[in-house]
C-alpha cells in the first residue's frame, strides 16, 4: 500500500457564496490484518492515529474520523468497482460545530484524473447535501432538511443507481433523484468534510435490483 499526501485549493460555491475549500487526500498503510471493521472493502485503506489534521480510530463495528483543526479539509477513502448499477450505503453520525461546509457520507462516481466525484453527506444539524467536484470546482447542488434524519444518532445514506439517474435516500426514504452521465461508473467510498467528529458504519456496495424501497 502506498502512502501519499496531497493538498490543494479549489473553488466552492455554496448557496451563491464564493469561498475557498481544500482537499486533503491521503492514502495510508492498511490496518493490521484481522482488524474488525464494518467498512467492508474500504477496510484496507483505513488508518489509525493522527495523519495531518485527521485522527482515525477503529471502534467496535465502526470507524471514527476527527478533525478539529482545518474547516477546509476533505478526507475520503474509495474502492474501485465494475461498471453496472449498484446500491451504495453507509451509516453515519456527525457531531461538533463547523465554521464551514461539514458532513459525512458517500463518495460517488469518483474519477482520479481530474479528480471528480459526488459527495452525498449529512451534517451535525441534520442537513443533507449533495455536492459535486469537477472541472468547474466544488459546488453544492442540494442542501435540505428532512424529518427522516435522527439528529445525534446514526443515519443511513443510500445511493441507488437506476438507468441514467441515481436516487438519494435517507433512512430508506427517497429525498431526491439526479440525472447524470456518470451513473454506473467510477469508484465509490466514504467522505468527511470540514471539522467535527464523523463516525462511519455498515458500508455496503451491492448490485442494484433497480427497485426503490416502498415509501408506504
Name all domains of the chain by residue range, CATH numbers in brackets: 4-207 (2.60.120.560)
Contacts of residue 129, defined as CB under 8 A and 6 or more positions apart, other chains included, come to: 101, 103, 119, 120, 121, 122, 123, 140, 142, 143, 144
* pLDDT score, position 210: 58
* pLDDT score, position 60: 87
CA 130 to chain centre: 10
* pLDDT score, position 93: 97
Cα 40 to Cα 71: distance, rounded to the nearest angstrom: 28
Residue 56 near residue 199, CB atoms below 8 Å = no
* pLDDT score, position 15: 30
Cα 174 to Cα 190: distance, rounded to the nearest angstrom: 20
Residue whose C-alpha cell reads 466525484 in the numeric block: 117
Residue whose C-alpha cell reads 471514527 in the numeric block: 64
pLDDT by position in tens, the chain (length 216): 222 223 323 333 333 223 333 444 444 445 544 454 689 999 999 999 999 999 999 998 999 999 999 998 999 999 999 888 999 999 999 999 877 889 999 999 999 988 899 999 999 999 999 999 998 888 999 999 999 999 989 999 999 999 999 999 999 999 999 998 888 889 999 999 999 999 999 999 998 775 665 433
* pLDDT score, position 176: 96
Amino acid at each position: 500500500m502506498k502512502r501519499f499526501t496531497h493538498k490543494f485549493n479549489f473553488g466552492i460555491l455554496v448557496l451563491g457564496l464564493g469561498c475557498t475549500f481544500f482537499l486533503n487526500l491521503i492514502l495510508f498503510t492498511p490496518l493490521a490484518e484481522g482488524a474488525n471493521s464494518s467498512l467492508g472493502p474500504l477496510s484496507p485503506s483505513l488508518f489509525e492515529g493522527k495523519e495531518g489534521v485527521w485522527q482515525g480510530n477503529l471502534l467496535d463495528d465502526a470507524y471514527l474520523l476527527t478533525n478539529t483543526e482545518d474547516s477546509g479539509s476533505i478526507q475520503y477513502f474509495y474502492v474501485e468497482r465494475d461498471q453496472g448499477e449498484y446500491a451504495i450505503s453507509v451509516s453515519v453520525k456527525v457531531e461538533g460545530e463547523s465554521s464551514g461546509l461539514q458532513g459525512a457520507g458517500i463518495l460517488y462516481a469518483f474519477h482520479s484524473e481530474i479528480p471528480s466525484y459526488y459527495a452525498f453527506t449529512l451534517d451535525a444539524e441534520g442537513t443533507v447535501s449533495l455536492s459535486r467536484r469537477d472541472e468547474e470546482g466544488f459546488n453544492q447542488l442540494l442542501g435540505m432538511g428532512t424529518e427522516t434524519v435522527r439528529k445525534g444518532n446514526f443515519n443511513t445514506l443510500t445511493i441507488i443507481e437506476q438507468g441514467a439517474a441515481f436516487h438519494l435516500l435517507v433512512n430508506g426514504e427517497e429525498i431526491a433523484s439526479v440525472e447524470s452521465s456518470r451513473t454506473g461508473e467510477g469508484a465509490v467510498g466514504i467522505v468527511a468534510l470540514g471539522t467535527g467528529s464523523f463516525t462511519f458504519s455498515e458500508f455496503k456496495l451491492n448490485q442494484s435490483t433497480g427497485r426503490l424501497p416502498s415509501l408506504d
